[in-house]
Amino acid sequence: MKKKHLLLIGLAVMMGILMVGGVSAQAKATNKTVTFGQLTNKNTNRLAAIRQAAREQILKQTKSKSSKVAAVYKVKLPKHMTKKATLTATGLRMNLLANSFKVKQITIPYTQLQGKILNRYLPKANRTTSVKTNKMVALTFDDGPDPTLTPKLLKTLKKYKVHATFFEVGQSVSRYPKISRAVLAGGNELGNHSWNHPDFNTIGTAQTVSQITRTNRAIFQATGTLPQYVRPPYGNITAAEGRAIEQPIIRWSVDSRDWSYLNTTKDISEVMKDTHGGDIVLMHDIHAQSVAAVPTIIKRLKAKGYKLVTVSQLLNYQALPGLQYFGAGDYRTAGK
């Protein structure tokens, strides 16, 4: 019995070694070295998108506080297509040069790379597929969060089971962080709308970058995430500013001009008159009349068969830094 027992133990140990060896070999087999040129088809906008994803991963991996947001933009990240990375079972592994975070390597999850690298390098679950946008509309709201109106709007969106994208001003995010968290908790998106709403064309690239970075920090402090998109105040941005920001720029194809009317009936008619499939609609969640118009707008758009989605859904998760987007399939270089 004793010999049999020892034999069984020996077999178990051997099986364990084989299994460990098998897992190790399998994991090793999934690793593949690729260049950034291969991952992006030598597209500089896609490479900028990888850098954008890398910054958020550095902050998450190091469990950094918001005070480190400015520093993450100083980390040297790949700008040359010949640089290499590794495709692993869980994500894209990148080596980093010496940096203030003291991180030598990061792995960006594939979920954060959808639409940023070519589909063939992504697991099937994270690949983009074609979507029909002729019956999709993205509602967007600028200048919040407002302590009273934004929560009211969030209740409306929840009631009608739709999601929207909110482009928030940094100084308001700092005052009302709970509302920014509520925006995300409701399944909506948060975007960067500058710190205090200046015209970027009048302040220059350095100040524009400061406005964006400061707001990214406020949003990160409030929510633990960096915003994907930027909407420049008044829609003004130069090509140099667009390159420096390294975030997709979201414009609009339907301007409700709700700020000028401050009239609920007029807001409804203007949106309904101009909105078609693939449009990005611009409104504001700091005007009571605008927020009051949203229930009717939602019901009427739904009655026409439109699905109300986030900007990411409308753009099929493929928006890239250095480009500005006016609607589905309507984009151009920043500053043009």
Catalytically annotated residues: 142, 284
Instruction: Name residues whose C-beta falls within 8 Å of residue 257's C-beta, 6 or more positions apart in sequence.
Output: 270
CB atoms within 10 A of CB 91: 21
How far is Cα 136 from Cα 223, in angstroms, rounded to an integer? 27
> Quick one: three-class SS letters along 98-117?
CCCCCCCEEEEEHHHCCCCC
Longest dimension (CA), the chain: 92
Numbers of helices and strands, H then E, in the chain: 13, 13
Per the listing, tokens 């500053």 go with 335
Q: Are 103 and 58 in contact (CB under 8 A)?
A: yes
> b/e string for 237-258 if b means 16 or more Cβ within 10 A?
bbeebbbbbbbbbbbbbbbbeb
Q: CA-based Rg of the chain, rounded to a whole angstrom? A: 23
Token pair listed for 105 = 């390597």
Q: What is the DSSP string of 12-28?
A: HHHHHHHHHHHHHHHHH
What residue type is 186 in one-letter code?
G
Measured CA angle at 47 (ends 74, 116), to 5 deg:
120
Going by C-alpha positions, the residue among 97, 93, 102 that lies closest to residue 68 is 102
Helix, strand or coil for residue 82? coil
Token pair listed for 116 = 């940023």
